[in-house]
Structure 1
Amino acid sequence: MNALGRAVAAEVVRVFSLRTWWVLAVVLIIYVAVTAGGFAFFVTTETEGGPGPLPAEVATQLVYSSTTSVALVIPLLFGALAATSEYRWRTLTPTFLAQPRRSVVLIGRLVVALVVGALYGIVGAATSVAAGAGVLAANGVDTLLADPEVWGLIACTVLACALWSLLGLGLGALLTSQIAAIVIVLVFTQFVEPLLRIVAGAWEWSAEIARYLPGAATDSLVGAGIIASIGELDPTVPGVIEPLTRLEGGVVLASLSVALIAIAAVTTLRRDVE
């Protein structure tokens, strides 16, 4: 086995020897199941103050995009924790002693982060379909599971989760502090970016910039999201901005990931370790 293969195998063993991966997977499943089921009920049932039954195209997009709408924090956290855990437990020195070429170690981690992030995407997409399609069907809405557009959305969900895992890996490698990485991930994904997108929609110049935020780029890549779906119904709602194309959204996410990892590679990963 060559050096890269050994690095990938070692990273797989390291990642799956910890409880983090499956704890995050359980949280992902619960989070997405509740969200997809709730969305499916809300958009297909007449409720006071609710939108009422939505067209099947909009309803299914909203339900099946639950993973990227609310749970991208999971692959992001995984990537960040994968990078910071060795600093926390001080296992980075033996890692570099076993493989002195740090670039090989980094590439091995990139491969594993991409694969595990994609697996989270598959689990999330399957959960959203399992939890949401039944509710949609029970309320007389076509699940559109035979529609190629739906499967395109699911495929892009998997890709988005893989890229967010890389984002987390780059952030964690740059910060090295596990606590700092967790706090920044949670604050940014749950509060800062959603608020920025809402506020930015008030002005044309800021709305143009907001299209390149990670969450907005993800909605463009997947072709759906909470704000995006609301925007299809009422373009005047605050926070609704003109999305990028699907390709542009993917390029923005990939570029952000590469940029963070590149910065970490030329700074943090070149430092001496204890």
Structure 2
Amino acid sequence: MLLRGVAAEFTKILTTRMWWILLIVLFAYIAMLASGLAALFGGIASGAIPAEVAGTGGAGTPSGAGLPPLVYSFGATLGYVFPVLIGALATTGEFRHQTLTPTFLANPRRASVLAAKSIALFVVGAVFGLVAVLASVGTGALTMSTFGVDPLLGDSDTWALVGRLVLAMALWAIVGVGLGVLVPSQVAAIVIVLAFTQFIEPLLRLAAMFIDVTANIGKFLPGAASDALVGASFYSMMSPVGAGAASLEWWQGGLVLLGYAVVFTVGGYFVSWKKDVT
């Protein structure tokens, strides 16, 4: 029954246009950011762009072995909004278009339906992660090579980072599923996702960096946990020297992000998923 439910969820997702539209936008967005950052700091590292012209003064500028992980991590650091959106849309769309009624008639075990949706979106999120890797590693490595910076594609640590990035994006999709169940209104869920990922959490993370107490709290925010899982983050450039707290270990970040997904999903199950639908 669970396998049939997962297959049904894939059918629901693939029969819409939203998944491939988001994939295209994700690729273009990450490719632009990764290639732009690689060109900027690769140019500074090679001397083609003076640090004074770039406005960095050389302070906090990644170079050498520190630049490739930063570029490759863009998919999770800034692109995680896309798997969250697809997860939320896949769930809220059920409420909006009232497809939950025939689904529950076919399978009255609602927990099984939600589990099938989570499994399907985990796989979809991993696909989003692979596309993000193609964008960041493909364009970033090429750009860094142009400026004489070793892209570290032969380094096992690079591919470990890539694997953890794909896992992070998969977990973000489940977070989106949980949010969609918790907030079944599609418009409200989209507004919450965009507001939190693009404004609220970045501001909270930046503000938390300057004091040890808040830094210790801030590292448990979902985005910070995701960055810890991946092992690199653009936010590390903004951290003031000597301030803040060490980030979580990669496995701790993964558990924290999974915890958000579980809390949202279980909470949404009792808040809306178990209610009567028409």
Q: For residues 229 and 157 of structure 1, what CA distance do their matches in structure 2 show? A: 19
Range moving further from structure 2, 218-227 or 54-63: 54-63
Aligned to 1:29: 27
C-alpha separation between the residues in 1 aligned to 2:90 and 2:182?
12
Once the two structures are TM-superposed, the CA of residue 236 in structure 1 deviates from its matched residue by 4.9
1:192 corresponds in structure 2 to: 200
Residue 227 of structure 1 deviates from its aligned partner by 1.1
1:11 paired to 2:15: no
- Answer yes or no: is the 8 Å Cα contact 1:36–1:128 preserved in 2: yes
The question of whether the paired residues in 2 share the 8 Å contact of 1:75 and 1:164 is answered with: yes
| Structure 1 residues 202-251: Cα deviation after superposition (integer angstroms, max 9, x where no partner) | 222111110100111111111101112454xx6258xx542111111011
Q: 1:235 aligns with which of 230, 241, 266?
A: 241
Does the 8 A contact of 1:219 with 1:228 survive in 2? no
In structure 1, runs of 5+ residues without a counterpart are none
Deviation (angstroms), 1:56: 2.1
* 1:235-269 deviations in Å (ceiling 9; x for gaps): 258xx542111111011001111111111112211
1:56 counterpart = 2:60: no
Q: Distance in 2 between matches of 1:142 and 1:112?
A: 37
Task: Please list every run of at least 4 consecutive aligned residues from structure 1 whose deviation after the TM superposition is greater than 3 angstroms.
Answer: 50-54
- The 1:51/1:246 distance shift into structure 2, 3 A limit, reads farther
Distance 1:229 1:125, change over 3 A: farther
CA RMSD of aligned residues (A): 1.4
After superposition, residues 1-274 of structure 1 pair within 5 angstroms as: 3-45=1-43, 46-47=49-50, 48=53, 49-50=55-56, 54-231=62-239, 235-236=241-242, 241-274=245-278
Q: Are the equivalent residues in 2 in contact too, given 1:42–1:50 (CA < 8 A)? A: no
Counterpart code for 2:21: V
Q: Which amino acid aligns with 2:26?
A: L
Structure 2 regions of 5+ residues with no counterpart? 44-48
Which residue of structure 1 lines up, in the alignment, with residue 46 of structure 2?
none
SS of residue paired to 1:265:
helix
Whole-angstrom CA distance in 2 between matches of 1:208 and 1:112: 34
- Residue identity opposite 1:16 in structure 2: L
CA deviation profile, 1:65-108 (whole Å, cap 9, x unmatched): 11012110000001000110011111111111111111111111
Contact 1:61 1:229 in 2 (8 A): no
Identity %: 43
Task: State how far apart, in whole Å, the 2-side matches of 1:27 and 1:150 are.
Answer: 25
2:273 maps to a residue whose letter is L
Q: Name the count of aligned residue pairs.
A: 268
Equivalent residue letter for 1:87: F
* Contact preservation (8 Å) 1:24, 1:74: yes
